Amino acid sequence: MEIRQYLNEQRLIVETALKKYMLKAQGPFARHLESMRYSLFVGGKRLRPILCLAAAAAIDPDRSLRENLLPVACALECIHTYSLIHDDLPAMDNDDLRRGKPTNHKLFGEAGAILAGDGLLTWAFDLLTGRESALPPERLLQITHLIARAAGSLGMVGGQALDIAYENQDFPFEILQTIHRSKTGALLTCAVQAGAVGAGAVPKETECMIDYGNQIGLAFQIIDDLLDATATTEQLGKTAGGDAKRGKATYPAYFGIEASKKKALDAVTAAKEALAGFDEKAAPLRAIADYIYCRSN
Ligand code: GRG
């Protein structure tokens, strides 16, 4: 399958839905809403929503299911964007560039950026539980809990806290794995799991999706580390070389470039193996795993 064309088509579907669901920058909160919209629409691959829709389609390709899942997919993107805004803040990574444009706090100030992130995080749960959602209530409740768990202190927020706590320190590889699994992996895995639950997957199918999600999460983070060490700022749309500057432990720092590439490839292979029981409807998920290995930003 032509993965770039597929990703482009899916990205447009997600962006159309985001435009439909996102609050408009008007009324008394216009400036705050504008700051949320700025980061949400400034770019991004939309990988988490696309994974959610692809996982659902691997189980049930019905178009109406996709429509019903779009609020979930958009909620995932809102949470991801909030995490990037907060990650870029002076108190965290202090970055000037994200998605090829000035970071949120550079345009809206530090307080404005904190609130833009807060607004996107809470809007995600508004979307999930509001009248846009048309999934059966028990599936929606399960998905909402999965997303809260993956985004929170036992997932992304916890991973970020650990990442910051260990900056400029030596620590065992197991800690790096925990940071990766929680900071980056949790939301990616949650995206495919949410898609599977939304599609009414049986437990065995959901387990395979979780396995797939864990493996692509690992591959995604290793490639992110490699790109940070080897790509240019222009290519990435964010400041390159930031990990080394901030004394962050990374896969290349532990294993070197070539061994890290091999580990990423092994994770991609394992991700595709996790889908062995799925038919052709899972072709996009298999192609996304390959894309994660080959991506250049
Ligand atoms: C501040 C709560 C909080 C969490 C931050 C996700 C995260 C945790 C920090 C981002 C820092 C980072 C570079 C993590 C590595 C993986 C990652 C999430 C990269 C960015 O995701 P992409 O490549 O970005 O999917 P786009 O812009 O395409 O959406």
Query: To test the ligand 1 pocket, which listed residue (84, 97, 220) has its Cβ within 8 A of the most ligand atoms?
Result: 84
Task: Give me the number of domains the chain comprises.
Answer: 1
Going by CA atoms, what residue is nearest to atom 14 of ligand 1?
Answer: 184
Atom of ligand 1 nearest to the CA of 297: 23
Name the residue type at position 19: K
Q: Which pLDDT score, from 0 to 100, does residue 127 have?
A: 96
pTM, full prediction: 0.95
Whole-number Å distance, alpha carbon 9 to ligand 1 midpoint, is 22
Whole-number Å distance, alpha carbon 255 to ligand 1 midpoint, is 22
Q: Which pLDDT score, from 0 to 100, does residue 134 have?
A: 86
Going by CA atoms, what residue is nearest to atom 3 of ligand 1?
Answer: 83
Query: To test the ligand 1 pocket, which listed residue (184, 218, 291) has its Cβ within 8 A of the most ligand atoms?
Result: 184
Whole-number Å distance, alpha carbon 279 to ligand 1 midpoint, is 31
- Closest C-alpha to 118, from 94, 85, 154: 85
Q: Confirm or reject: Cβ of 49 under 6 Å from ligand 1.
A: no
Q: Which pLDDT score, from 0 to 100, does residue 34 have?
A: 98
Distance CA 210, CA 203 (A): 10
- Closest C-alpha to 66, from 85, 53, 80: 53
- Closest C-alpha to 26, from 14, 39, 37, 15: 37
Q: Confirm or reject: Cβ of 84 under 6 Å from ligand 1.
A: yes
b (16+ CB within 10 A) / e for 86-123: bbbbeeebebebbbebbbbbebbeeebbbbbbebbbeb
Rounded-to-5 percentages of helix, strand, coil across the chain = 75, 0, 25
Q: How crowded is the C-beta side of 242, counted as CA atoms within 13 Å?
A: 19
Which CATH number does the domain housing residue 117 bear? Answer: 1.10.600.10
Q: Which pLDDT score, from 0 to 100, does residue 161 have?
A: 96
Distance CA 133, CA 135 (A): 6
Q: Which pLDDT score, from 0 to 100, does residue 61 have?
A: 87
Q: Confirm or reject: Cβ of 77 under 6 Å from ligand 1.
A: no
Q: Structural domain of residue 70, as residue ranges?
A: 3-294
Distance CA 144, CA 58 (A): 21
Alpha-carbon distances of 97 from 85, 114, 162, rounded to whole Å: 10, 16, 23
Largest interatomic CA distance in the chain: 54
Q: Confirm or reject: Cβ of 104 under 6 Å from ligand 1.
A: no
Residue ranges of the chain whose pLDDT lies below 70 = none
Q: How crowded is the C-beta side of 130, counted as CA atoms within 13 Å?
A: 14
Tell which phi-psi region holds residue 97, choosing left (phi > 0), alpha (psi between -120 and 50) or beta.
beta
Contact yes or no for 82/120 (Cβ under 8 A)? yes
